[in-house]
Amino acid sequence: MTRFLYMAWRGTRFAVLYELRIYQSLYFWIARRQPTRTPSSIPFSYVTSVAPALIGFIVASAIEVPVAHFLLSPWPPVQIGFLIVGIWGLIWMFGLGAAMTVYPHTLDDTGIHIRNGFNARVDVPWHSVESVSLEQRSYEKGKHVQIVENDGERTLCLTHGSETTVTVTLREPTQIAVAGRTEIVSRVRLRPDSPRDLVVAARSWTSRVT
């Protein structure tokens, strides 16, 4: 019973905090703020790959809400309840898109910082980076964080749109923190909207700090 209550508390706490971060991201987006940026950092967006799906959900919801409101007019309590849920869903989807916009990937003096909205961050320090290159790969759908093992080497893949376009090769197997755990990997892959620009900037930075 105690374990059940503990798990219920953790789940409720996570849901509430996640909801609040969604609204916070929407505020940052409206205010045109990127809270993780510093004066020396260079941002790289990654929202383009998921934009069609987000726009599709938003458009479908925007159509569904007034249509359902009209069809449910004979049942006012149900109509009001569906209207509240529909508007909440629209705001939530805008907030999710906002989170991906205001928390971009960044390069700065300490390394490469890979984001997925507010709920995932992977930091790769420059002193661990051997090379940064263009390399497009596809992955299993539905999983943003994937570990791929090949010839005894492990690669951390942070996908968007089920693919990556940039590979960061590390000098040696390195501990990288991701999604509340630590993985020892030899490469990190990501998918920015402008992979070539990120590679050029990363190579320029590594030449200065290594």
How far is Cα 173 from Cα 6, in angstroms, rounded to an integer?
Answer: 36
How far is Cα 14 from Cα 17, in angstroms, rounded to an integer?
Answer: 5
How far is Cα 175 from Cα 166, in angstroms, rounded to an integer?
Answer: 19
Helix (H) / strand (E) containing 59: helix 51-71
Contact call for residues 166 and 199 (beta carbons, < 8 A): yes
Tens digit of pLDDT at every position of the chain (210 positions): 677 777 888 788 888 888 999 999 999 999 988 888 788 899 999 998 888 888 888 888 888 888 888 888 888 888 899 889 989 989 999 999 999 999 999 999 999 999 988 877 899 999 999 999 999 999 877 788 889 998 889 999 999 888 999 999 999 999 999 878 899 999 999 999 999 999 999 999 887 665
Please report, for residues 82, 129, 166, 167, 204, the alpha-carbon distance to residue 210 in angstroms, rounded to integers and kept in the order given. Answer: 57, 9, 20, 18, 10
Question: What does DSSP say about strands 181-190 and 153-158: parallel, antiparallel, or unpaired?
Answer: parallel
| Distance of alpha carbon 66 from the chain centroid | 31
pLDDT value, residue 203: 93
Torsion angle in degrees (nearest 10) through CA of 101, 193, 114, 20: 20
Q: What is the pTM of this model?
A: 0.85
Please give the structure tokens belonging to residue 161.
Answer: 């749109």
pLDDT value, residue 10: 79
pLDDT value, residue 24: 92
How far is Cα 41 from Cα 50, in angstroms, rounded to an integer?
Answer: 24
pLDDT value, residue 209: 61
Nearest to 168 by CA among 143, 188, 194, 154: 188
